[in-house]
A and B are shown apart, each in its own frame.
Chain A
């Protein structure tokens, strides 16, 4: 019974993990930027939901578009006015590759500090009047919120996949992953597409943040776990792959959940990182091979 409960918990929470990872994976796969501020974007999304809920009593699920839109704008501006000034360098020299890594780290510290300055470092949670309710099936309890979170996470990944495959902008994004030079030859504005890609990545972080606020406590200093999930999942699922991110997320969720039950809660993250290092060495293209943006 414990096993079934752990499997279901891991499976449902895994979808949230993938929602955190999809945006991160997309940005990394398309513009070769490892966005170390992704975790802080998630926290920002969570705060937006929290404040809308606390002050205007808007249902947290209805605030998801607001979080997504706010983060979309922030992401667009960050790429346009900061990151676009270093990615040119990173494509020309070897050392420059790390500039985006370090720049986003700096950005994360700035945002973290601003949030702490304005909203303090207190731990927050969104508690609605349906928070504790769960579906009981033969001794196994499944919280309604987690079911909803699961479906929203899957639907956002599905919408992203439709966007990438059916719209002109989406196809331009995919074209860049195949060949940057080729994309430029056919007249794709690289700077604009990079900005849109980063904005979409940030918007997905915003959605994930809104979902996080419903399940976990958060504070400006709790952004690292989300970033590390994203890393592990991208390495499991392969770079820039949406399908890989979803399966990787669910796999990680299940593994972590089983590890909590059978090894001990403290080792939950260690196991994730050991998988990460092991896979990087053994199979750096991810478990499912290269499947860019399918």
Chain B
């Protein structure tokens, strides 16, 4: 019986992936572009999930790795003559290393303070990127255009982001079933307790943040090559970080499917609102955030498990009320 449910689950996932693979061949550029964006946000949300969903630490400034990945990929390609894939990989690894270095002091902080420290790092790096020569400062940075026909380029980035999304999901799944995942969940429920059981909490948090940073950097690198122009305000935007944190919360933090649900829902919704009411779309996103936090702080998956009952939503409001 359990097997049956499990196989059905695999079947649904397989079908979903198959649809996504076939999709670009029977669709137009507009939708390919939207789907690529959704894959990017799923990757970012899933990468954040590794730290936030399992260990309960909210990396508010995780977008710093997105920007660093983007800039490193660009700089390596333009100034050092790397080709795209080595540059991308190098960017990701550099993010891993950077996260490990700053993570050593910062991951000791708890709760709010960790979130703020990451935000501080992110803003500081943004200001530095705006003012140094190697990033071309506030002028923005031009990457070489991809030497492919436009139609092929669309497919290229679509499948590249798709691969990034699948890889980060596999990594997240592997971690959740692995020693690291158990350690992280122990840290989330009680860090002191986990320490007293002999779990090296600092080490596991560092690993989790490093992996998270690696994939965030990869997504940033692909984004840079895809857009071919980046500047500090757009790739170091705290708004991006908040967006993928919201997606994660909405979908359900700590679950593997949550980021998919959140990213698809929010992106499709903002796309619809954006095309209808240009001025309002950020405001509507803000309103959604407020509603989600009040009514559904544990996300869609939780709502699904409650059988979509409205009384469960009201119960949430009652529990949260002071």
A residues apposed to B, CB below 8 Å: 32, 34, 82, 84-89, 92, 94-99, 101-103, 105-110, 112-114, 116-117, 190-191, 194, 224, 228, 231-232, 235, 264, 266-267, 269-270, 273-274, 276-277, 280-281, 284
B139 at the interface (CB under 8 A from A): no
Task: Report the interface size class on chain B.
Answer: 35 or more
A172 to chain B, nearest CB (A): 15
B123–A228 contact, CB under 8 A?
A: yes
The listed residue (B109, B127, B245, B285) touching A281 by CB distance below 8 A is: B109
The listed residue (A88, A94, A102, A284) touching B249 by CB distance below 8 A is: A102
Q: Give the complex CA separation of A231 and B317 in angstroms.
A: 29
Instruction: Scan residues 275-300 of chain B and give those whose CB is less than 8 A from a CB of chain A.
Output: 279-280, 282-283, 285-290, 293-294, 297
A103–B294 contact, CB under 8 A?
A: yes
B127–A86 contact, CB under 8 A?
A: no
Taking A109-B283, A231-B120, A273-B124 as contacts, is the C-beta distance between A94 and B293 under 8 angstroms?
Answer: no
Which residues from A are CB-within-8-Å of B246?
A: 102
Q: Give the complex CA separation of A116 and B120 in angstroms.
A: 27
A113–B282 contact, CB under 8 A?
A: yes
B131–A264 contact, CB under 8 A?
A: yes
The listed residue (A89, A190, A232) touching B320 by CB distance below 8 A is: A89
Q: Give the complex CA separation of A39 and B288 in angstroms.
A: 20
- Chain B's closest residue to A97 (CB) is B111
Which residues from A are CB-within-8-Å of B289?
A: 102-103, 105-106, 109
Which residues from B are CB-within-8-Å of A92?
A: 319
A145 to chain B, nearest CB (A): 28
A85 to chain B, nearest CB (A): 5
B317–A85 contact, CB under 8 A?
A: yes
Taking A95-B253, A274-B124 as contacts, is the C-beta distance between A109 and B286 under 8 angstroms?
Answer: yes
A82–B290 contact, CB under 8 A?
A: yes
B127–A113 contact, CB under 8 A?
A: no
Total CB contacts across the A-B interface at under 8 A:
144
The 7 closest A-B pairs by CB, nearest first: A106-B289, A113-B283, A109-B286, A270-B127, A273-B124, A266-B131, A89-B320
Instruction: Scan residues 50-95 of chain B and give those whose CB is less than 8 A from a CB of chain A.
Output: 56, 58, 60
A88–B321 contact, CB under 8 A?
A: yes
A267–B131 contact, CB under 8 A?
A: yes
Which residues from B are CB-within-8-Å of A108?
A: 286
B59 to chain A, nearest CB (A): 11
The listed residue (B112, B113, B137, B279) touching A117 by CB distance below 8 A is: B279
Which residues from A are CB-within-8-Å of B108?
A: 281
Q: Give the complex CA separation of A98 and B246 in angstroms.
A: 11
B97 at the interface (CB under 8 A from A): no
Taking A87-B322, A102-B245, A106-B290 as contacts, is the C-beta distance between A114 and B283 under 8 angstroms?
Answer: yes
Q: Give the complex CA separation of A277 and B282 in angstroms.
A: 29
Taking A97-B111, A103-B293, A281-B106 as contacts, is the C-beta distance between A194 and B322 under 8 angstroms?
Answer: yes
B128 at the interface (CB under 8 A from A): yes
A273–B106 contact, CB under 8 A?
A: no
Q: Give the complex CA separation of A43 and B119 in angstroms.
A: 21
A110–B56 contact, CB under 8 A?
A: no
Query: A95, A98, A266 — which one has the most chain B CB atoms within 10 A of its CB?
Result: A98
Instruction: Scan residues 199-245 of chain B and give those whose CB is less than 8 A from a CB of chain A.
Output: 238, 242, 245
- Some 20 contacts from A to B, beta carbons below 8 A apart, are A34-B112, A82-B290, A82-B294, A94-B56, A96-B320, A97-B111, A98-B112, A99-B320, A101-B58, A102-B249, A105-B242, A108-B286, A109-B283, A113-B279, A194-B322, A231-B120, A277-B121, A280-B109, A281-B105, A284-B109
Q: Give the complex CA separation of A267 and B286 in angstroms.
A: 31
B145 to chain A, nearest CB (A): 29
